[in-house]
Structure 1
């Protein structure tokens, strides 16, 4: 039986397949176009505009990271519109149509810079705008009866993302090579249309949480209140905080939530962007490096953009291995890798990946021809870094903020991504470093960030917030956040 004696329902809600199907197709569409973007800009769109190969490569990398900046900036807008005004369903559906229009522009305007860039802008708005809404909408479909299935469904959700990325990385670069840009960008466009259609099909089944409207005790309002008022005198023996001035207009729990956001920001914002500077360049700098390598691995020939399939394939293998084997083994040996240890370690590991790739570049600049299979090693190292930083960091940050501030924490995480990409875009545009120097340039920053984050983490006071248990008689009641001391 699906329903147990304790009142739990072991069935997934019937609307979940629509959302999972939507996510699988949408992720294929996004990674399909993203992973060939750098090569397309170099070999097609900018070919006649910028004859010099080195200058064209530099401009292509800059444009790629400007695009990625938009992808991570517009989630702030999409999440705000969904939470305050229109709800998640409408924002996802409307912006998915914008997303489809962007893909259509890429396929139709392969030879037009204004038309193609319009497509990139529309995809930034669409992809970025729905990013914070889809995963949250999955959680909205569960009640007290089946909330024990949430961990399983989000594991499926994460695997779906990587599965879409894996197949897109393998097949779309081949389509670009064999069939041309119109088809290579058209296939992801068709998948995005299918994603939108699947999402629309489930419209009568979704649980729709209405928008909350303006929040009188939002993070921004609390900060503005504190800045506009004089800080009150602290009681004897106690330390005052500048946000305490907001207590004149806001409840203590809201002000404490804002303080938590600043604590998390002090840990994340100065250091995490340096990881994303490394990670997102696997679709730009690492692809450019692969173009200079021998593409044949035995009888198989790999396109430079195809090597990105290694990352999602390894993620699906390494997360279960690290979680089930490595972390417990270290804990038994008395060397527990807490989140505050994993994140600085991940930054250091990411720096090692770039040192390895930089060493390859030095060898090639001195006349050595390397096989493209050599990129497997830095990809493995970078993927381990991703698991240590990315999957650990967002979950940890969420536990450190009350329920009312968790959306603000997600915004902080997205700002880290956006900041990283705009920094790389500007550095590429200014041509700060080229060749092997750029690998060591970014590795040195990541290593310094690892040291800095480790020092800050030593002083960070962990204050976990968990959802309070739901009493049995009121199964549908919304849980309240309670700090665990």
Structure 2
């Protein structure tokens, strides 16, 4: 059975020296990120805005908690999306369905009502993103299945430039449309962006050269029937549990977000236990490589815990404690984070060329360690900004701009390398699922980050930023100390001297 998306082969032109299919995936992901980051740039502000200004009226700490578990759910569901691609649909169709569901979610949020349509929209966006994200990244890897690591790393870095180009445009457009309380007009713009991405994908599918047309390990008819039965029972059970919780009168937004955080943290633990203990499709060599991946997974979770506070703690700091006047014009708070997207668009080609020329001399564990140190240093700067603001005066926007530039350097070391190393270390039977596992690291970091912000109720904001800074820097230095051992577990080069 085919996906129905195949097209006759065409004569291909290069895309920045890479396969033409990279342009299709670049453009699709760019528009998806437009919708995602554009909406994210106003989500906490919308949730915490009073009802008289068209918002949901939630306390700021609750809004940040919701933001954290929503972002986490986007990445948590990527594991299920990878499994569906591996076993049922194939990556190409799964990306198509995911893009359509994301668009429906943004359309739901564009309906000018508070409450049900907003929660439904967030659920649909999370579900669609889970289908799309791991599989579009896996399709990038499929374009390089017969090529060397350095070239694949370079391709992922260019793909990552598309991510940030979309984020830049989205963060510029959506918060600007929201000015004056036009929340649902802004959410509608995100829907239009996702429609553009869906169109890009359908029109450009012929350039994918057969990548991802079929699942790598399709379920047998009996396994598929069993899966459908289990899925139906699970959905019914979850709905019944939520209904009983609501009837009990103890269901609150805060408790629900905390419960989702616990689930998010438990899922990767259970999944790694399954990979190491329960699967018979993984060889001993693949398990050794997975041991290295666990180290990198933990490092990535800490990185994202700090980094993704851009849409919560840093956004609120921009709104409450930052002088947003630039050349006499007061910019929307969400615009400040766009320095990250600008810097990545400018720096990504430089880093792609650097990593291509460096080859294996800069290993993945070293890249991860450097990324952690930089993201930690960015929060040392935030400690200084928050300490100044604690006196009551608003600080210069240059503080936040400096934070985002430092984080950009860390991100360019860690994030493209994370996509590439996941593709490289994935057991053959779990290739697309492992892209979902990479996004699980982001899910864990984001969900924990949403809950750690509650610390600001009991500790000063400068102390909060400094604590997270120390956590990230310490983790980076520890990984750097053990980098050669981790590299040896990746089965690339033996360790010649003990560390």
Q: Does residue 1:103 correspond to 2:129, yes or no?
A: no
Moved more, 427-436 or 161-170: 427-436
Alignment match, 1:415: 440
- Structure 1 44/186 Cα, relative in aligned 2: closer, same or farther at 3 Å? farther
Give the alignment of 1:62-211 within 5 angstroms.
62-109=65-112, 111-140=113-142, 154-178=156-180, 180-202=182-204, 207=210, 208-211=212-215
- Alpha-carbon distance change, 117 to 158 in structure 1, aligned in 2, over 3 angstroms: same
**Does structure 2 retain, via aligned residues, the 8 Å contact 1:95–1:125?**
yes
1:275 maps to 303
Q: Contact 1:297/1:373 (CA < 8 Å) preserved in 2?
A: no
User: Paired residue for 2:36, among 25, 30, 34?
Assistant: 30
1:318 equivalenced with 2:347 (yes/no): yes
2:276 and 2:490 map into 1 onto residues whose CA distance is 25
Asked if the contact 2:153/2:356 (under 8 Å) is kept, the reply is no
Partner SS state of residue 90, structure 1: helix
1:188 is displaced (CA, Å) by 0.8
Greater helix percent: which structure? Answer: 2
In structure 2, runs of 5+ residues without a counterpart are 1-10, 224-269, 495-499
Q: For this pair of structures, how many residues does the alignment match?
A: 427
Shift in CA distance, 455/14, structure 1 to aligned 2, threshold 3 Å: closer
- 1:59 Cα deviation from its structure 2 partner: 1.2
Report whether the alignment pairs 1:42 with 2:48: yes
Q: Report Cα offsets for 1:255-285 as digits up to 9, x if no partner.
A: 32123212321x1233321111111001111
Distance 1:222 1:183, change over 3 A: closer
Which aligned pairs between 1:208-227 and structure 2 lie closer than 5 A?
Answer: 208-211=212-215, 212-214=217-219, 227=277
Distance 1:345 1:93 in 2: 35
1:195-248 CA-partner distances (Å, limit 9, x unpaired): 2233334567762531121499xxx999769858xxxxxxxxxxxxxxxxx8xx
**Equivalent residue, structure 2, for 1:480:** none
Q: Is the 8 A contact 1:45 1:113 kept in 2?
A: no
Q: Radius of gyration: which is bigger? A: 1
- Equivalence map 1:313-392=2 (5 Å): 313-322=342-351, 324=353, 337-392=362-417
The residue that corresponds to 1:260 in the other structure is: 289
Number of the residue aligned with 2:485: 459
> In structure 1, what is the Cα distance between the partners aligned to 2:142 and 2:356?
31
What RMSD over aligned residues (CA atoms) do the two structures have, in Å? 3.8
Measure how far apart 1:122 and its partner are: 0.8
2: CA distance, partners of 1:47 / 1:192? 27
- Which of 311, 315, 320 pairs up with 1:287? 315
Q: Structure 1 residues 442, 72: closer, same or farther in 2, change over 3 A?
A: same
Q: Distance in 2 between matches of 1:175 and 1:221?
A: 41
Instruction: For residue 191 of structure 2, give the secondary structure of its aligned residue in structure 1.
Output: helix
What's 1:296 paired with? 325
1:152 and 1:459 map into 2 onto residues whose CA distance is 25
- C-alpha separation between the residues in 1 aligned to 2:167 and 2:31? 10
Please state how far the C-alpha of 1:432 moved relative to its aligned partner.
5.8
In structure 1, C-alpha distance between the alignment counterparts of 2:53 and 2:336, rounded to whole Å = 23
Distance in 2 between the 1:68 and 1:167 partners? Answer: 20
Would the alpha carbon gap of residues 192 and 57 (structure 1) be closer, same or farther in structure 2, given more than 3 Å must change? same
Does the CA-based 8 Å contact 1:222-1:258 persist in structure 2?
no
Instruction: Return the offset for 1:361.
Output: 0.8
Instruction: Classify 1:46/1:342 alpha carbon distance in 2 versus 1 (closer, same or farther; 3 Å).
Output: farther
Give me the TM-score of the superposition, normalised by structure 2. Answer: 0.74
User: Given that residues 375 and 410 in structure 2 are in contact (C-alpha distance below 8 angstroms), is that contact kept between their aligned partners in structure 1?
Assistant: yes
2:444 maps to 1:440: no
By relative contact order (CA 8 Å, sep 6+), the higher-ranking structure is 2
- Quote the offset at 1:415 in angstroms: 1.9
Structure 1 unmatched runs, 5+: 1-7, 229-245, 466-482
Could you tell me which residue of structure 2 aligns to residue 468 of structure 1? none
